[in-house]
Structure 1
Amino acid sequence: MDPAQFGLSTRPLQHAPYGPISIEMLQGTNAGKVAVITGAGRGIGAAIAASLAKSGADIAILDLNIANLADTKKECLTHNVKVETFECDVTDEARLKEVFDKVEKQLGPIEILVNNAGVLDQRPFIMSTFSSFWRQIEVNFKAPLMLVHNVLPLMRSRGHGCIINIASRSGTVDVPMTLGYVTSKAALIRATHTLQKEIELDGLDPGIHMYALHPGGVLSAMGGSGAAEDVKEKYGDITDEEFYKDLFKDTPALCGQTCAYLATGRGKELRGFYIDCRQDVSKLLEIGRETLQKENRNTLTVNFIDGYANEP
């Protein structure tokens, strides 16, 4: 895979918090709100929790292993907010219901949901077990939709709320040896587009606003592990994620602060869209929602040859 085939930005990209999403600009902007973040034990999830805490939100953090949440909790508590931790397999619907009930009782109404938990098994489909492939669909797509299904009625009854689905640029391109990942992320992006339209039909737009957010190129344990030895033996010196490590130059805080910014509602004009957090949100807002929609920007689409259109 050659990264250049997908295009190279001529506008400067952001690699760390900047201007409108800086800590100083967002201080106290989410005070009084309750945020739920999945996969918050480390990396991007931990950064999202910390950023929301810095902006004043009380925090409920979930992870498969509660011990992984200790450092995240410690960091969030330094910002004088309430923090609750929950051990939770996000594919377990019964457990999710228990967690949501506890969050509402212990912290209050959930106003922010960030679906961050995800898994990647980097190997060809034919060399995967089907259960391993499907596990990625369950964690990366089914689980976020179950969380949304649980929290959305609560948000609807109050008429407001923010949902951020951590997506990936992988959901917008074809990347061999990551079928489960790219498929699940593409589905999550499409679901975000569609759900925002359903919210609009119910007259709850823009009070309830959703986003599909690419967290940038963050070198995490999931994305930087490279292919397994048996895959390398079969396919030779493949150019996998490990090969592109030099492109992973973004800090987890960039995604964290972008989430805190979106949670404030200041970026509501971008609701329903796929957003790359390396792209300056103020530039997108300058273009305007109407133009973005008219030109099918920041949304999954198919481009046909001239003369053909995607007719109903």
Structure 2
Amino acid sequence: MDPGEFGYSTLPLQHAPYDAISPATLENSNTGKLAVITGAGRGIGAAISESLAKSGANVAILDLKVENLEDTRKACEALGVKVGVYACDVSDRKAVVEIFDRIENELGSIEVLVNNAGILNQRPLIMSEFDDFWRQIEVNFKAPLITIHTMLPRMREKGGGCIINIASRSGTVDVPMTLGYVTSKAALIRATHTLQKEMELDNLDPAIHLYALHPGGVLTGMGGSAAKQDVLDKYGDVRDEKFFMELFKDPPALCGQTCAFLASGRGKELRGLYLDCRQDVTRLLEKGREALLKEKRNALTVNFLDGYCNEP
């Protein structure tokens, strides 16, 4: 991987929660809301759950197994909020509907949804079992669409809501060995853009606000994983190991606190956009929604050869 291919920031990036998104700033900003977080057993999902709880939200935390959620449950309950713990394969539509019904029966109306669950299988397509490749699409893209499809009518009935899709910079670049991951994350970013426009059509914008959020460089079990030995034997390690590991300098709390900020509604002017939690939200808000949209900032786009575009 050549880091120069993707460009370097000339503005400072944030690598820890900063004033605008700090727990102190967001104290009580989500009090009384109920947030659902998928993949909440560890890492980024656990941090998102704790940050939302710190901001006053009650949380329903989901993972494949209830026992995976024990540490997250304890951490959130210690913050004095209601916590519901649920086992769910979020790529199973029937299971999602049943669990969401149960959550609302037990804890009340869901106002915040964070689609965090995700998987990565680092292999080239030619060496992959197709079902293993496709499972990444099921978990990383189909599952968020299932949860969103389940929640949108309920949010419409309630009159509003916030949906945060945990995306990735990988959805904006070409990275060999990660086809299932990069395509699913790109699809999730594009879906976020498009769904916000659908909210406009139904006069639900900005009451229902959606975001695609890159969580930063967080050294999780998934993010720090290497290719399997058979792939290494064939291709070697295609990563620049030193550069690759230096990418992982962000604590999960940076993403967690950004989610709490977005759930509070303080970043509504950024709705429908792709955000990198290392970029200061105050700088983006100062730029202004109108300018961001006009200049196609924070959105997936294509740059054609000068002179080629659409028909006049």
**Structure 2 length-normalised TM:** 0.98
Provide, for residues 175-218 of structure 1, a one-character-per-residue CA deviation record: whole Å limited to 9, x for no partner: 00000000000000000000000001111100100000000000
Task: Give the corresponding residue for 2:135.
Answer: 135
Q: Matched residue of 1:23: which SS?
A: coil
Task: Give the corresponding residue for 2:228.
Answer: 228
Task: Give the corresponding residue for 1:279.
Answer: 279
Task: Give the corresponding residue for 1:119.
Answer: 119
> What aligned pairs does 1:67-216 form with structure 2 within 5 A after superposition?
67-216=67-216
Task: Give the corresponding residue for 2:65.
Answer: 65
Provide, for residues 86-127 of structure 1, a one-character-per-residue CA deviation record: whole Å limited to 9, x for no partner: 011111111111110111111110000000000000010101
Q: Matched residues in 2 for 1:224 and 1:311: separation?
A: 45
Q: Matched residues in 2 for 1:274 and 1:78: separation?
A: 32
One-letter code aligned to 2:188:
L
- Paired residues of 1:16 and 1:254 also in contact (CA < 8 A): yes
Q: Matched residues in 2 for 1:200 and 1:82: separation?
A: 33
One-letter code aligned to 1:235:
Y
Change (3 A) 1:130 1:65: same
Q: Matched residues in 2 for 1:240 and 1:125: separation?
A: 21
Name structure 2 gaps, 5 residues minimum.
none
One-letter code aligned to 1:248:
F
Q: Matched residues in 2 for 1:263 and 1:208: separation?
A: 11
One-letter code aligned to 2:191:
A
Task: Give the corresponding residue for 1:44.
Answer: 44
Query: Displacement of 1:142 after TM fit?
Result: 0.2
Task: Give the corresponding residue for 1:249.
Answer: 249
One-letter code aligned to 2:87:
E
Q: Matched residues in 1 for 2:36 and 2:147: separation?
A: 10
Query: Displacement of 1:237 after TM fit?
Result: 3.3
Query: Displacement of 1:310 after TM fit?
Result: 4.2
Name structure 1 gaps, 5 residues minimum.
none
Provide, for residues 278-300 of structure 1, a one-character-per-residue CA deviation record: whole Å limited to 9, x for no partner: 00000000000000000111000
Change (3 A) 1:78 1:153: same
Change (3 A) 1:234 1:75: same
Q: What is the aligned-residue identity percentage?
A: 71
Q: Matched residues in 2 for 1:85 and 1:236: separation?
A: 42
Deviates more, 1:111-120 or 1:153-162: 153-162
**Structure 1 length-normalised TM:** 0.98
Give the count of matched residue pairs.
Answer: 312
One-letter code aligned to 2:239:
T
Q: Matched residues in 2 for 1:244 and 1:187: separation?
A: 24
Query: Displacement of 1:242 after TM fit?
Result: 8.1
Q: Matched residue of 1:258: which SS?
A: helix
Task: Give the corresponding residue for 2:306.
Answer: 306
> What aligned pairs does 1:284-299 form with structure 2 within 5 A after superposition?
284-299=284-299
Q: Matched residues in 1 for 2:159 and 2:142: separation?
A: 25
- Paired residues of 1:47 and 1:252 also in contact (CA < 8 A): yes
One-letter code aligned to 1:46:
A
